[in-house]
Amino acid sequence: MKDYLLMMRPSHWSKNIFVFAALIFGKNLLGPIDEVLLAVGSAVGGFFCFSLAASAVYIFNDIIDREADRLHPEKSQRPIAAGAVTVPCAAAMSIVCAIVSVIGSFMLANSFAIIILMYIGMMILYSLLFKRMMILDCVVISLGFCLRAIAGAVVVGVFISPWLIICTFALCLFLGFGKRRSEIAQLREDSESFRRTLGGYTPELLAHMLDVTSGLAIVCFLLYAADDRTLRVFGTNNLVYTTPLVLYCVFRFSALIQKGKFSGPVQLILRDRAFQIAFVVWVLSCVGIIYANKLGISLGAIWAY
């Protein structure tokens, strides 16, 4: 049973927190208690449906990559690569996760189920084709995160802001190139034998890509924070004052990934305490700024000092 749970990669479910973005930025955390509970419950349900869909894809990917995974110092310990779970059993588990995810998503919203199906289809193509195409591999991964953010807005029933998609894509493209950089840092001369596309990447090229995408992500956040629609919706542009926290998180992630201290974004996010503290403070700051007007609190006087 433990091997089947590990095969689902529950630690990677943390990627699905993007589903909750619309819950926060859609101002659904305050209001009539029944509406708040409905919104939170829908978001939590969406999170678990997307997590099961992701697990189905992870298992499918591990089946496809089982030979290559045996060459990796960490991935060789995965149940399928290690031989702890047979391919037929793994395939059956993948199908079960996908079916439960799709059925659960249909119970939440038909449009949400369509997004889940789009995600599963796209990631199957990624495992079979796109992961072997340099740059496009990271672009497809980023699109997968965009679908998570869109799904969160759909399941909660709020407007899908273009900025939600743009910021998510830019940030996740940065994370995707960061993962490639960490793989090269860990595997060194064996990187190409594990993943063919890594032969096309170089530490210098990835450092440049990380610089470009990190700058793009930060600029997109600043444009969103200063946008007129943000002012109309939240009654303030004070989100710009959280920029130092955004900069710290982005730069710390880039520094630690390029040093090869973590095998990927998930490991860094779950293990680096400084990053965790900064991220939590940023989230709480955003919540405070977004909901201040709704609570009748004016922050204008504070900034005046």
52-56, 88-92, 175-179, 192-196: range with lowest mean pLDDT: 192-196
Q: Does residue 303 register a pLDDT over 50?
A: no
Q: Does residue 129 register a pLDDT over 80?
A: yes
CA 225 – CA 239 distance, rounded (Å): 5
- Asked whether 97 and 12 are in contact (CB, 8 A), the reply is no
Structure tokens at 199: 């032969």
57-66, 97-106, 128-137, 168-177: range with lowest mean pLDDT: 128-137
The whole-number pLDDT of residue 78 equals 84
What's the CATH class of domain 1-160? mainly alpha
Residue with tokens 């496809």: 64
Domain ranges of the chain: 1-160, 161-299
What is the band of 190 on the pLDDT scale with cuts at 50, 70, 90?
low
CA 241 – CA 238 distance, rounded (Å): 6
- Asked whether 286 and 24 are in contact (CB, 8 A), the reply is yes
